[in-house]
Structure 1
Amino acid sequence: MTIEELIKLYPTGKVQQTKAGNNALSLPIAGSYFIIAKDSLKETEIRLLQQLFPEKKYPINQNKHPWFDYLFNQAAIDIEGTFRILQFQLKKPKEFLQTEWENSIKEIFPELCDFFFISENDGALIERYSKNHYALEELESIFLTLDADFDSSTVVFVGSFFPVNELLYKLFQEEQQIFKTEADTLRGKSTFSLTDVALHYFTKDAMEKSLIIQTFGKQLILTNEIQKIILSLWRNQGNISSAAKDLYMHRNTLHYRLEKFYEQTGLSLKRMDDLVFCYLLITK
């Protein structure tokens, strides 16, 4: 049964990336969940749908990983403190030294509380807060070094620090959705956090629905070259000298390209507001 067929049968249902609470039935399908309110279903319907759409089984001993049971099954957890969750996607070579890789992770993170794979390539690190926790740039260097040592390729979403309470697993579910949505949209960045993608993630739907944005997108001539310039300026916080170096372009040449773009569009990529607008146009 497809999502389209489910929607025809249950028009009040909706599709989302994460499971719903206990008052709704969450059916895993096509990498998402189809959500139906339980009070709109008969008990026999609930049992039938659960048989048709069984919950995914994870290759993990849940007794050894209380954090897994808490985050994915909402089980109780007897832990206090503030933690962040690093989600990762790991592309492995054929001859991958997984035990050595895992031992390296455990050695690198002194505040690591739990660490597990939830599939062949996806996993999570749970790290307790400390004053000396790794900054984003340090984490990027760590995983790039691991990739070089193990011939792997890793994409990491660095979650925010939150206290353990009844909201934490819900916050993790939202971070999961952000990771799934944004991991493939990043260019040239393998380790990122919420602030790297917040502007794009939280404005994407509004941008896609806006007639003004659609018309602007058709009128603007956004060549491959100007898109690379916009992305480089964005990554370098509008710094022209840094962007020119990043683009292997002379600073005066970049100035000329920016002036030509301004003449054609009325948008100055030297102004942060215009740069943000153009960045959203090419990443929507």
Structure 2
Amino acid sequence: MTIEELMELYPLGKIQKTESTGDDLSLRIDEKYFIIAKETLQETEIRLLEKMFPSNDYCINQKKHPWFGYLFNQTIIELQGSFRIMQMQLKKPKAFLQTEWENSITEIFPNLQDFFFLNENNGILIEKYTKKNYTLEELQSIFLTLDADFDTSTTVFVGNFFPVNEQLPKLFQEEQQIFKDEAENLRGKSAFSLSDVALHYFTKDALDKSLIIQTFGKQLVLTTEIQQIILSLWHNQGNISSAAKDLYMHRNTLHYRLEKFYEQTGLSLKRMDDLVFCYLLITK
């Protein structure tokens, strides 16, 4: 939607170069602001408009970054092929070498189509599909190396490859929600994809509504230690040796903890089905 179309829908609004200093709703579009009094809108309209035109700390030039207009403002982009969107959350040191960091990004990603920051800490990378795209493991290594070089802490959600059409902005909106909901649930990963969080993300609502799960959760006492064991086993695909190393625990000690847990609950964390069930219990 363009700023002119907003004026047609809301003739009481106005266009200006600066953000409103009062309580009016300010929507930034193409380096301008559409301003309208909130009392003229219903609450649902306000929420919808804020979602359609998210506020940004950075004023983004849509001519320089056409993907911003395509993803956030429903403008048309003429491209062929499939693309993936990587969402970044970047914690920076006070003396952050941003120009050097951005130069490193453009050098590392030869198939980069667009790259911009939405605000001080959140950015978007758009990469075209080729036969030589980085794997998730390679992306993890890349961002860990950048973190070491620039004293940053980065979390990246690596989206799926999708063709450019009218569906892609909607798919991106869902990926944004997944990133927002799941970034804090991952431990020790700088880069993750949908498959890493799909089980938790798509089952959490059903788990929250289940009386069986609520009752079972109250009966099952999961200490902090056993929760850490469950998470470590989950992230290591049930491999006991790897989990013990991750937990700084002797392998025999971990075996003992697992046997005690089985005796107390009847759930064997050596079985993948029981491990999945316990993982969902502690992350719901």
TM-score (norm 2): 0.81
Aligned position for 2:115: 115
Aligned position for 2:166: 166
Q: Bigger CA drift: 187-196 or 81-90?
A: 187-196
Aligned position for 2:257: 257
Aligned position for 2:78: 78
Gaps of at least 5 residues in structure 2 are 1-5, 11-24, 26-39
Distance 2:273 2:54 in 1: 44
Alpha-carbon deviation of 1:56? 4.0
Aligned position for 1:40: none
Alpha-carbon deviation of 1:215? 1.0
Alpha-carbon deviation of 1:240? 1.1
Distance 2:183 2:251 in 1: 31
Q: Bigger CA drift: 68-77 or 250-259?
A: 250-259
Cα gap change, 1:200/1:85 in structure 2, threshold over 3 Å: closer, same or farther? same
Aligned position for 2:231: 231
Alpha-carbon deviation of 1:133? 0.8
Aligned position for 2:217: 217
Matched residue of 2:63: which SS? helix
CA offset digits 1:132-185 (Å, max 9, x no partner): 111111101111111111111111000001111111111111000100111112
Matched residue of 2:192: which SS? strand
Distance 1:257 1:45 in 2: 58
Aligned position for 1:5: none
Distance 2:160 2:54 in 1: 26
Distance 1:153 1:143 in 2: 9
Identity across matched positions, percent: 77
Alpha-carbon deviation of 1:45? 4.4
Distance 1:261 1:45 in 2: 56
Count of aligned residue pairs for this structure pair:
243
Matched residue of 1:238: which SS? coil
Counterparts of residues 1-284 of structure 1 (less than 5 Å): 45=41, 55-58=53-56, 59=58, 60-284=60-284
CA offset digits 1:100-156 (Å, max 9, x no partner): 100000000010000001111111000001111111111011111111111111110
Alpha-carbon deviation of 1:188? 2.1
CA offset digits 1:51-107 (Å, max 9, x no partner): xx7644432111101111000011100111111000001111111111110000000
Matched residue of 1:63: which SS? coil
Matched residue of 1:244: which SS? helix
